[in-house]
Structure 1
Amino acid sequence: MNTIRKAYRAGSFYPASDRACREQIAACLGDYQPPAEPAHVIAGIVPHAGWMFSGPTAAKVFKSFDEKAEPQTFLIFGAVHVWDIGRNAAIFAEGAWQTPCGEVEIDREFAAAILEICPDLVDNEPAAHIREHSIEVQVPFIQYLFPEAKIVPIMVNPNHAAVDVGRRIGECLASYPTLVAILGSTDLTHYGPSFGFTPFGTGAASLAPMKANDQKIIDLATTMKAADVVLEAEKHRNACGAGAIAATVAAAAALGAAKGYLLEHTTSQEVMPERPASDFVGYAGIVF
C-alpha cells in the first residue's frame, strides 16, 4: 500500500512553498558550526514550534548531524498532541510523507523491523499522524540537508512504555546494517495564562523560573535518565513530548551514549522579545 501522508501544517508552522521553505531553513542554519563534542552524533532532541520561534534551535541539531554523521534514515519520535494517549506508540510504516519540498520515502524495512521487535509496544497506525505537527515540521530540514534519506515516524505516548520502545529500537540499531539517526521532537514548558499554567506568577519576572523548570527535564535528558522523564513532565509540565524524550534517551543509551550535549536552550519570549511578556514556550536542542 502506497500511503501518502500530506502536509498538515504547511503555511502555518512553516512555509507553504518549496522555495520559501528552503530560504527559511538556510536562514535558520545561518553560519552555525557545531561544537567539537560530541565527535559523532547518533541522536538528538529538537523543538517543534513554528519555525519563526524554534527553527534556529532545531537547525543546530540538524547541522550537527550534517557535520558528524551520514544517516540514511531518520527515526523520529513524535510528541502526541491529538492521539489517544492510552494507546501504544504509533508507527507510520510504509508509503511517503509529502511536504512543500516534495516526498520523502518511509524506510519500510526498518519500520517492519520495529514492528517485529516491539509487537506489544508499537502499532502500525498511520491515522495517528494525520493531524500531528511534531514530526512534520522536522521533515523539510531532512529533505534540505539529507535529500536521499528516508524516515520512520513514530508517535510516542508519555507513559512508562516509552523507555522500552526506545531501548528495544536502540538495541536493534546496534547491529542494524543501515545508519539510522534518532530524533525526539518536543517543546518544553508551556507557560502563562493562555496555557493555564502560572505557578511562578505572570509577566517578565516569571521567565527565569520558567526556564529553570525547563532545565529540570533538560538535565534528565543530558544525564541519560530516561526512566525519570515522564514522571518529571507530569509533575512540572515541562515537556509536551515526554514520551519522545524518554524513547530518544533510552535508544541513545542502548547505542552507547553516556551523556547528552545541550546546544541551545531558549524561549519564545527570547526569540521575539518585542512580544508582550505573558505566555512563553521553552525550546532545547540536544545531541547525543
Structure 2
Amino acid sequence: MCSSRVREAAVDGSFYPGEPELLRVTVDRLLAGAPSPPKDASVPRAVIVPHAGYVYSGSTAAMAYARVARGRDSIRRVVVIGPTHRVPVRGVALSGVDGFRTPLGVLPVAEAWAQERLAGVSAVCVFAETHRWEHSVEVQLPFLQRALGDVEIVPLLAGDATGDEVADVLDELWGGPETLVVISSDLSHYLPYEEARRVDAGTIAQISALDGPLDHTQACGATPVNGLLVAARRHGLRPALLGACSSGDTAGDRSRVVGYAAFAFDEVPDARREG
C-alpha cells in the first residue's frame, strides 16, 4: 500500500515474531494445532479472542481463528475492537489511517467507509494516538492474514464507553456474512492459578449466557466484550466456548496468571431478538 497513513507494527518481535517467515510458520502451526471445527459448524459472525503474547495465548486464539478460516471465501471485512492499555480515550476510537502493517504485509483499513457509517454515533472519535502503541488489535492481525488473506479491517479501540455505546457502533458496522466481528480480550489478571480458574469460570458462564456487564477485574477487554453481549442479544447470536486456559497452562508460572478464552458467536435461525 503506497500511503503515508499506515500504522506501523508496534509489538512485533515481542508479542509475536517479527521476522516474516517465522511469523507465518508460527501462526500456521498454531492454526494447524487447533481442534478441527465440527463438519456442521457455521462460519461465526463474531469471536472473542485473547491478545497476550502468542507463547501464552496463541493456542487459545487459534481455536477461534480455525473456525473463522472457514469463511475465507465469504468474509471480506473484519471489525476488530480491543481495549486501550496505554492511551485512554472517551468512547470508541477509529484509527484515522489507511492501513495497519504487520511483518506479513499491510492490511487495508476501511476507514472512509467506517467514518461514513459511524458519522451519527456520538461515542465515536478518530484518535490515531491511542492506536499507535496498542497491542490489543495488532496481535489479531497476523491470524487474520493467515486465516482469511487480504481482508479489509476496521480497527477500533474502546475506552471509557458503555456496552450499549459499543453495541451501537457494532450495529452500524454489522453487515451480513461478509463482515466478521473480532473482540479482543483476556480474562482475569495476576491471580493465583486456582483462584483464576474459579473467577474465569464465572466469567465464561456469564458470556455463555449473554449475561453482562462484565467488569475489568474479570476481563481487561470488558468494554468491547460487553458491547458484543448487547449486540448478540440484539442480533440473535449464540455463543459457544471453544477453549480456555491461563498462562499457568502454557508458558508462565502459577503464582500470578492471566486467563484466556475463545468464543464463537453464531446466528440462531429465527432467534428472538431484542428491540
Alpha carbons 1:92, 1:126 under 8 Å: kept: yes
Alpha carbons 1:268, 1:280 under 8 Å: kept: yes
The 5 Å alignment of 1:76-91 reads: 76-85=80-89, 87-91=90-94
Residues 83-106 of structure 1 show CA distances to partners (whole Å, capped at 9, x for unaligned) of 225x12111144100110010100
- Residue 196 (structure 1) aligns with: none
Distance 2:207 2:117 in 1: 23
Which amino acid counterpart does residue 201 of structure 2 have in structure 1? Q
Structure 2 portions without partners, runs of 5+ = 266-275
Percent identity over the alignment is 27
Distance 2:188 2:220 in 1: 8
Alpha carbons 2:100, 2:106 under 8 Å: kept: yes
Alignment partner for residue 249 of structure 1, among 211, 214, 229?
A: 229
- Residue 241 (structure 2) aligns with: 262
Residue 287 of structure 1: CA displacement?
0.8
Instruction: Name the TM-score, length of structure 1 as normaliser.
Output: 0.83
Structure 1 runs, 4 residues or longer, greater than 4 Å off: none
Residue 180 of structure 1: CA displacement?
1.1
Which amino acid counterpart does residue 84 of structure 2 have in structure 1? V
Alpha carbons 1:77, 1:247 under 8 Å: kept: no
Change (3 A) 1:177 1:270: closer
Distance 1:58 1:37 in 2: 21
Distance 1:215 1:251 in 2: 22
Which amino acid counterpart does residue 78 of structure 2 have in structure 1? F
SS class of match (2:219): coil
SS class of match (1:16): coil
Q: Root-mean-square deviation (CA), in Å?
A: 2.1
Alpha carbons 1:170, 1:254 under 8 Å: kept: no
- Residue 184 (structure 1) aligns with: 183
Residue 255 of structure 1: CA displacement?
2.7
Distance 2:190 2:23 in 1: 29
Q: Quick check: 1:56 aligned with 2:59?
A: yes
- Residue 195 (structure 1) aligns with: none
Distance 1:26 1:177 in 2: 27
SS class of match (1:52): helix
The 5 Å alignment of 1:149-160 reads: 149-157=151-159, 159-160=161-162
Alignment partner for residue 194 of structure 2, among 181, 187, 208?
A: 208
Distance 2:125 2:147 in 1: 30
Question: How many residue pairs are counted as aligned between the two chains?
Answer: 261
Structure 1 portions without partners, runs of 5+ = 193-205
- Residue 164 (structure 1) aligns with: 165
Change (3 A) 1:46 1:177: closer
